[in-house]
Amino acid sequence: MARRRDWRWWLLVLAAFGAPAAAVEIDGRIEPDEWAGARQVADFRKVQPLTGEPGSLRTEAWILATPEGLAVAFRNTQPPGVPRTRQKVRRDFDEQVDRVNVFVDFEGGGRTGYAFTVASSGGVADEIITNQNQFNNDWDGLWRHAVSEDDTGWSVELLIPWHTAPMPDAGGGERELRIFLARVVGSTGERMAWPVASFERPRFLSEFAPVTVPAYDQSLLAVTPYVSALYDNVGDAGHGNAGADLFWKPNGRFQLSATVNPDFGQVESDDLVVNFSATETFVSDKRPFFTENQGIFEYTTPSDFSQLLYTRRVGGPADDGRGASDIAAAIKLNGSVGGLKYGLFSADEAGEAGRSFHALRLVRDFEMQDLGLMLTRVDRPFLGREATVLGVDHNWRPTPRWNLRSRVFGSRIDDAGGRTSDIGASVWADYEMDRGWRQQWIAMHFGNDLEINDAGYLARNSVNYLHWQASHRTTDLPDTSRYASTDWRWRVSTNRNNHGDLLNDQLRISRDGQLRDGSSEYAQVNLNSAGVNDTLLRGRGNVRLPANFNAYYEYRRPRKGRWSHGVELEVFTGGLDGNDRLGSASWYGVTYFVSDAFSLDLGGVLTTRPDWLIWQGPDRGDLVGAFSGKEAKLIAGLDWAIDARQELRVKLEAIAIDARLRQGWRFDPAGHAVAVDDAIADFSVRNLAFQVRYRYELAPLSYLYVVYGRGGFERRDIADGLGGALGDSFGLRDDEQLLVKLSYRFEL
């Protein structure tokens, strides 16, 4: 009998590992028969705080490759003594609630990862991870999930289709994925994970655990047509539109996305910003076509938000200055040939002022490094301008301690003024030391004539920047400490333009603290040397500025009972007065939860700028006004998760500015300020954005939107008080629109 039992047992084991995986029913209930043969993970360890110790609550996970996709299940033990968060959250939420994460690198090269998050209340978020630890939540994927709970804990099941991302050829009927699993306890902020990796470290993606699975292949053809109707109540006019998006994946190595006559009606409202500086405001892109499998086109530098392909350019302001451009069609290809991955992107705008955008991306992964090439080209016939940018990027991980990233790229611009070209380069090195210490070095050079902003985004050219940073993370704090972990950073940097002018030297000291109650703190101090501002006059010379400083503090407390709130405080100096005058900014925001599904938000910002330098425009040369400025911003709204398919959001933002002239200035050739009596008016600004958005999910990635929006902008050459300006902003009505949009995804 013993022999017979042994024989049967081995037969069951062989059947479990050798037979094709049966379908898993994604219902949140983990049935042993369904998950037979799955890889079980029980060694979850703390990564926030980053101690590597076993997690405080038992967590188990199962990983199973099925023909339908990668299935993952979590069993999260949570006894009654640990509060559970049952707050309803919208897609791509960032609230601190009980949740689990599945991060997958489908290609296994440590270059692009996909993050899938499920809250205990059933809410989801999905993101793309690039550059080891940079997250972008603009992308919305098509995947399944379910949640269940009982007295001792809660469970999650996910199914991520194989058509989610392109994958290289697999040899021997198997492929190697890299996976990171995590669980977050909402009441404390503790994150426990397998393996021990953290996005707080320079290397994250490449630290995922290798998991070998059968090489399943999955094809998909999906078409998403839409119809929309918009009524403009100010212009008393309406119009309709129709178009379609297409997604085709015939096999694991190739994906195609296309769009014809896309409608980018504003169903997502951007945050209000009033910007008088020479630096363009960066705005992320939530448009589905531009977020689908966009990770391969990621080419960034350490300069904030920089990238060679900034998709908000497509369909942006037309070259004739007559509003936004209409996109006629766009197409995007992603795939692999052998070990080479590629991406092709092309978009054409309609009309005489329309532009053509094109991009080519090539990437080759090796065991400890990867090498890439990116080419962009923009044709702007209305301006007689052609812009070409070519870049090479290299990421190298020579040892477990070192992470090095290098970029070299150049631009060539052909227009009526002739041809200009220049280059840029950056090197970013991180070194992980012992006992929580680490170091970082960054060097950047951007030439005077480097121009990538026809297709990309770069805050400024003419830069020579160096910095060295030392950091220390402490996680072994005593139980009596208010903090679970602290992370100190000390940075010294120097920044010059390509004419040899010192922009500034800086000492930065910052600290990031994670509290035991789940709250977080961040504090930062910057001490800046005297230097020049070479952008204020828009190419008309330099402005010499004295030394200045700024100090910033931020506190975030997650929901406790019915309330959550946050505080930000800043004091700063600047302008021509340097440290003689002190400015300040303060923000407070609070959320009140009427129920787990219904919440109200209210926040306000008050900023005072004692020496606010504002250029007076090209028709007045190098004239600058120094103002005593005050700015108030009001933010209010509500979120209502009506049920699993319906949500209602209301968002209000209002900005008021009151600026009173202190002195007018012009500047000599050396950049020294010269007081002048040129007429410069006081001014005030009012800005409003109000949106009511209802969304009904008809099916996955198929929606009905009903959106009402109203807004306006007004500038007056008179300072009539901050309170009056804020009150008057609610009467603005430059735009008032009602949009109805229906899109439905058909899988063929």
The stretch 277-287 carries a mean pLDDT of: 87
The stretch 701-718 carries a mean pLDDT of: 94
pTM value is 0.89
The percent of the chain in helix, strand and coil, each rounded to the nearest 5, is 5, 55, 40
Q: Read out DSSP for 137-166?
A: TT-----EEEEEEETTEEEEEEEE-GGGS-
Task: Indicate the SS3 state at residue 575.
Answer: helix
pLDDT in the model for residue 254: 87
- For residue 576, the 8-state DSSP code is G
Same domain, residue pair 397 and 322 = yes
How confident is the model over 153-190, as pLDDT tens digits?
999 999 999 999 888 777 788 999 999 999 999 999 99
State the Rg of the chain over Cα.
27
Same domain, residue pair 122 and 35 = yes
Q: For a pLDDT cut of 90, what percent of the chain falls above it?
A: 79
Answer whether residue 628 shows pLDDT above 60. yes
Residue that finishes a domain, picked among 176, 197, 216: 216
Same domain, residue pair 434 and 545 = no
pLDDT in the model for residue 339: 81
677 lies in some domain? yes
Residue that finishes a domain, picked among 216, 232, 251: 216
The residue type at 219: S
266 lies in some domain? no
Same domain, residue pair 126 and 53 = yes
Same domain, residue pair 294 and 190 = no
Same domain, residue pair 435 and 341 = yes
Answer whether residue 2 shows pLDDT above 70. no
Residue 589 has a CB neighbour count (10 Å cut-off) of 17
pLDDT bucket at 107, cuts 50 / 70 / 90: confident
What is the rounded CA–CA span in Å between residue 475 and residue 486? 7
Answer whether residue 209 shows pLDDT above 90. yes
pLDDT bucket at 644, cuts 50 / 70 / 90: confident
Same domain, residue pair 640 and 723 = yes
Residue that finishes a domain, picked among 402, 430, 459: 459
Of 192, 26, 207, residue with least CA distance to 101: 192
pLDDT bucket at 336, cuts 50 / 70 / 90: confident
Answer whether residue 10 shows pLDDT above 50. no
pLDDT bucket at 11, cuts 50 / 70 / 90: very low
Same domain, residue pair 440 and 583 = no
The domain tally of the chain equals: 3
pLDDT in the model for residue 496: 97
pLDDT in the model for residue 358: 98
Same domain, residue pair 86 and 209 = yes
The residue type at 479: D
- For residue 24, the 8-state DSSP code is P
Task: Output the average pLDDT for the chain.
Answer: 92
What is the rounded CA–CA span in Å between residue 143 and residue 70? 10
pLDDT in the model for residue 323: 85
Instruction: Determine the longest span between alpha carbons in the chain, in angstroms.
Output: 107
How confident is the model over 446-463, as pLDDT tens digits?
999 999 999 999 999 999
Whether 103 and 130 have beta carbons less than 8 Å apart is answered as no
Answer whether residue 17 shows pLDDT above 60. no
pLDDT bucket at 22, cuts 50 / 70 / 90: low
The stretch 639-644 carries a mean pLDDT of: 93
Of 93, 263, 53, 252, residue with least CA distance to 167: 252
471 lies in some domain? no
10 lies in some domain? no
Range of the domain at 173: 15-216
Same domain, residue pair 629 and 717 = yes
Same domain, residue pair 50 and 153 = yes
310 lies in some domain? yes
How confident is the model over 362-397, as pLDDT tens digits?
999 888 899 999 999 999 999 999 999 999 999 999
Task: Indicate the SS3 state at residue 450.
Answer: coil
The stretch 555-578 carries a mean pLDDT of: 95
226 Cβ neighbours under 8 A, 6+ residues apart? 242, 243, 244, 245, 263, 741, 742, 743, 744
Classify residue 610 as left (phi > 0), alpha (psi -120 to 50) or beta. Answer: alpha
pLDDT in the model for residue 274: 86
Neighbouring C-alpha atoms within 13 Å toward the C-beta of 413: 19
The stretch 322-347 carries a mean pLDDT of: 90
pLDDT bucket at 111, cuts 50 / 70 / 90: confident
pLDDT in the model for residue 513: 96
Answer whether residue 566 shows pLDDT above 70. yes
260 lies in some domain? no
Same domain, residue pair 284 and 375 = yes
The stretch 511-522 carries a mean pLDDT of: 95
604 lies in some domain? yes
**Cα-flanking dihedrals φ and ψ of residue 573, to 5°?**
-125, 175
Q: What is the CATH number of the domain that holds 185?
A: 2.60.40.1190
β partners of residue 287 = none
Location of structure tokens 């929309």: 228
Task: Indicate the SS3 state at residue 187.
Answer: coil
468 lies in some domain? no
pLDDT in the model for residue 1: 38
